[in-house]
């Protein structure tokens, strides 16, 4: 049995305002080709198909086009679970239609928990795999509120609820396994959660799943009957509790510049005669990201080097020099003019330190509004008071335009 485990596609996600649809399309095209080349029989998508619960029409077209193309390959079954970014209603809306094409979608906890245990059959109609398709477990789905419970009680009840949910699906799967003609019928499970000991990268967009509490699921919460556990939510590929068959595949695309140097992968899982082996398949880089940090001389030298490669690069620039450079953005724009480099983010640490040093003790970056920071920058650069109202008005219009962007108008 050849299984492919992937998760956290986040179709529709932007990077500092830059649309990434070309990257998502390239990844999905590559994924279809990889499924065919490796003769994959089952595809597991462990949540966060989309980046938001209201994905654009373009994001949805990419998703359904992918499902259409996979249906014509050797892949017999697709299992998709909802993640914390997904809308369960949107994912499950075409569920009955997709099931006709052997695409099984579990967007949220099912009213009948038996519906989360899916028995897949081979071409001759015989059972070949049991999948405990557990989606992202929301607080309201697994925990009841009790009067007088404190934070520790809440955390303990959440963890117990998650463990109990996995025990229930495992018991159902084992009962099916015992009734099957094949005593070696494998069981795999999915999940979208934060496992204890898991790591994330600063700026990668991974957030705690339960507001007001830090609930990290211990590896002992998962039943031992699972031949493989396919997890989503963390964006770096990693093991859970050093267990080689409890794995996060990670996101296929870097979610931030902090992940620019990290290799991305999907996981091929081979189960044969009760033995499970896992092979990492490296995902190609579809858009190069680069972060440059230093003084102006170093930054310009690095940009010159990148230009000579004649490769399209999205760039983050972090200025850490001691000199205050008021026209940093214009200087960098001149440096990349006519090249294949796009600067998506400029962080002027020296300027920010200067702004903060001029604040009174009552003002910190956490307490200052966006307008206050902008006004401090105007003061720092000695902008004439007569010009400040118009600039502040333009700033407000820009912020409003960003907030009012129609995410469905693609």
Global pTM value: 0.82
Kindly give, in sequence order, each residue whose CB lies less than 8 Å from that of residue 311, ignoring residues fewer than 6 positions away. Answer: 288, 340
Query: Tell me, what's the pLDDT at 211?
Result: 41
Buried b (16+ CB within 10 A) or exposed e, 187-213: bbbbbbbbbeebebbeebbbeebbeee
Query: Tell me, what's the pLDDT at 7?
Result: 97
Q: Is the dihedral of CA 283, 199, 215, 228 positive or negative?
A: positive
Query: Tell me, what's the pLDDT at 287?
Result: 95
- Give the integer Cα–Cα distance in Å for 210 and 151: 12
Name all domains of the chain by residue range, CATH numbers in brackets: 2-283 (3.60.21.10), 288-403 (3.30.160.720)
R_g of the chain, CA atoms, integer Å: 25
Query: Tell me, what's the pLDDT at 326?
Result: 76
Query: Tell me, what's the pLDDT at 157?
Result: 83
Residue-wise pLDDT for 94-149, tens only, equals 999 999 999 999 999 999 999 999 999 988 888 999 999 999 998 878 876 666 66
- pLDDT by residue for the chain (410 residues), tens only, comes to 899 999 999 999 999 999 999 999 999 999 999 999 999 999 999 999 999 999 999 999 999 999 999 999 999 999 999 999 999 999 999 999 999 999 999 999 999 999 999 999 988 888 999 999 999 998 878 876 666 667 677 778 888 889 999 999 999 999 999 988 766 899 999 999 988 877 776 665 565 554 444 567 888 889 999 999 999 999 999 999 889 999 999 999 999 999 988 999 999 999 998 899 999 999 999 999 999 999 999 999 999 999 999 999 999 999 988 888 878 999 999 999 999 999 999 988 765 555 555 554 445 554 567 778 888 888 888 888 888 877 876 786 576 455 444 333 44
In degrees rounded to 5, what are phi and psi of residue 284? Answer: -60, 160
Query: Tell me, what's the pLDDT at 76?
Result: 95
- Give the integer Cα–Cα distance in Å for 371 and 271: 57
Query: Tell me, what's the pLDDT at 407?
Result: 37
Query: Tell me, what's the pLDDT at 187?
Result: 96
Token reading at 268: 């091929």
Query: Tell me, what's the pLDDT at 230?
Result: 97
Query: Tell me, what's the pLDDT at 408?
Result: 35
């Amino acid at each position: 049995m050849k299984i492919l485990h992937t998760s956290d596609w986040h179709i529709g996600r932007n990077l500092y305002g830059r649309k990434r649809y070309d990257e998502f399309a390239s990844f999905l095209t590559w994924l279809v080709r990889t499924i065919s080349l490796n003769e994959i029989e089952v595809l597991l998508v462990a949540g966060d198909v989309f980046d938001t619960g209201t994905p654009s029409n373009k994001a949805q077209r990419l998703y359904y086009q992918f499902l259409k193309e996979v249906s014509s390959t050797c892949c017999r079954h697709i299992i998709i679970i909802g993640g914390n970014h997904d809308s369960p209603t949107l994912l499950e809306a075409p569920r009955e239609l997709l099931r006709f094409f052997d695409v099984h979608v579990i967007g949220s906890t099912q009213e009948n928990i038996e519906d989360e245990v899916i028995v897949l059959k081979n071409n001759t109609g015989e059972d070949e795999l049991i999948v405990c398709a557990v989606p992202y477990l929301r607080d309201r789905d697994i925990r009841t509120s009790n009067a007088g419970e404190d934070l520790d009680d809440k955390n303990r009840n959440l963890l117990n609820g998650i463990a109990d949910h996995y025990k229930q699906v495992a018991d159902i799967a084992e009962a099916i396994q015992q009734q099957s003609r094949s005593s070696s019928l494998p069981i795999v499970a999915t999940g979208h959660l934060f496992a204890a000991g898991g790591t994330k990268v600063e700026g990668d967009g991974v957030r705690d799943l339960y507001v007001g509490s830090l609930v990290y699921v211990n590896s002992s919460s998962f039943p031992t009957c699972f031949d493989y556990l396919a997890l989503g939510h963390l964006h770096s590929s990693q093991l859970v509790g050093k267990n080689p068959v409890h794995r996060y595949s990670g996101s296929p695309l870097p979610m931030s510049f902090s992940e620019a140097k990290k290799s991305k992968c999907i996981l091929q899982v081979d189960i044969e005669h009760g033995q499970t082996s896992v092979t990492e398949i490296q995902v190609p880089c579809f858009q190069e990201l680069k972060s440059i940090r230093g003084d102006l001389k170093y930054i310009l030298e690095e940009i010159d080097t990148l230009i000579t490669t004649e490769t399209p690069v999205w760039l983050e620039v972090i200025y850490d020099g001691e000199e205050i450079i008021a026209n940093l953005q214009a200087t960098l724009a001149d440096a990349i003019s006519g090249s294949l480099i796009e600067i998506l983010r400029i962080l002027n640490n020296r300027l920010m330190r200067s702004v903060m040093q001029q604040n009174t003790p009552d003002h910190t970056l956490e307490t200052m509004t966006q307008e206050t920071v902008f006004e401090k920058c105007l003061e720092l650069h000695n902008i004439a008071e007569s010009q400040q109202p118009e600039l502040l008005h333009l700033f407000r219009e820009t912020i409003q335009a960003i907030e009012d962007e129609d995410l469905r108008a693609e």
